[in-house]
Amino acid sequence: MKNRTLKNFFENALFFPLSFIIRLLPRKAALSFGGGLGRVLGCLMSTKRRIAMENMGQAFPEFSESELRQRVDAMFVHIGKGVVEMLRLDLFTQEDVDKIFFPTGLENLQEAYDYDRGVILLSGHVGFWEIGTFLLPTLGFPTDFVVKKMKNPQADKYLTRLREAAGGRCLDSKSGARKILRSLSEKKGVAVLIDQHRSSSEGVVVPFFGRPASTTPIIARLAMKYQIPVVPLFSYRRSDDCYDCQIQPMFFLKDEPESSVEENTALLTAIIEEAIRKDVTQWLWLHRRWRCKKTN
């Protein structure tokens, strides 16, 4: 407990002044700083860099060593920019919707909301995934977001305030199913990222880039049982630091005897894999996603 308190102190001593400076800078300068910071961290974080190289190399064996290095370098720059953008979430305005964000497929989202059952918004740590906390409520789609609480309570409270600035709520992933159901009963969308490892007691094992990966089955279970429409959506950073926000057609998961939670979780995971393949530099390859030795 004492070590955690001490760690929180040093984290806050770095985090809050840095956040203050980033928020003072014009957006272009802040993103340039973030990209540079990401590039530096990519060189310093040798263990994370090795994990990213290994993960991407196994997913794309056709990439040469130099191609892998180039893409991992670009990933760290992207992460640095994403962190900076996240610290400025509450600074976005209605005007930015036309200048920075370019959503396509809004009719798909409207169709899902029109069912009046709530909507499961499927995504992953692809592109700038945090932008939904601003964009969706601003566009008139009430949305809550499942997030994992940080160990540092001061930083967690601060980031929660930024994420909820546009009107959405953050739902603690530890009580995910109950809180998701509550939001769905209020006819809201619930954004969930399902591309991170879950323990064997919580997850089901499905293919992800050709390897077994333990994945949360909660979304498949809820979508099947309550016939909630599912809408995949992903926001990609462009070279000009604007965002292409791609909203795919809605669908329902079958709740029939021949359908299983595992099969439908695999289907959802395949959608995320396809989204990652569109730009491999905009996913968190440094996460230890594959920890399973064999499939079920």
Residue 296 banded pLDDT, cuts 50, 70, 90: very low
The angle formed by the CA atoms of residues 124, 32 and 67, to the nearest 5 degrees, is 60
In the chain, how many domains are there?
1
Residue 295 falls inside a structural domain:
no
**pLDDT of 3 strictly over 90:** no
What does the DSSP assignment read for 151-169?
SSHHHHHHHHHHHTTTS--
- At 256 the pLDDT is 76
User: Which pLDDT value is given to residue 160?
Assistant: 96
Quick one: which of 110, 174, 176 has its CA closest to 142? 110
pLDDT of residue 5: 86
Domain span holding position 261? 2-282
Cα 237 vs. chain centroid, distance in angstroms? 13
Q: Tell me: the pLDDT tens digits for 141-200?
A: 999 999 999 999 999 999 999 999 999 999 998 877 889 999 999 999 999 999 999 988
Let me know if residue 69 belongs to a domain: yes
**If you average pLDDT over residues 134-146, what whole number do you get?**
96
Residue 230 included in any domain: yes
* Residue 255, pLDDT above cutoff 90: no
Query: In the predicted model, what is the mean pLDDT of residues 43-48?
Result: 95
Residue 294 domain-assigned?
A: no
pLDDT digits (tens, 9 = 90+) for 218-234: 999 999 999 999 999 99
pLDDT at 2: 65
Strands (E) in the chain, as ranges, are 101-104, 119-123, 143-147, 170-172, 189-193, 204-208, 211-215, 230-237, 243-247
pLDDT at 262 over 60: yes
Residue showing tokens 């289907």: 267
pLDDT at 293: 66
Average pLDDT estimate for 90-119: 96
Beta bridge partners of 208: 211
| Residues 263-288: tens digit of each pLDDT | 999 999 999 999 999 999 999 999 99
The answer on pLDDT for 201 being more than 90 is no
Residue 204: inside a domain, yes or no? yes
Whether 292 is covered by a domain: the verdict is no
In angstroms, the CA 1 to CA 250 distance is 46
Q: What is the pLDDT of residues 57-77, one digit of tens each?
A: 999 999 999 999 999 999 999
**Is 296 inside a domain boundary?**
no
The per-residue pLDDT for 146 is 95
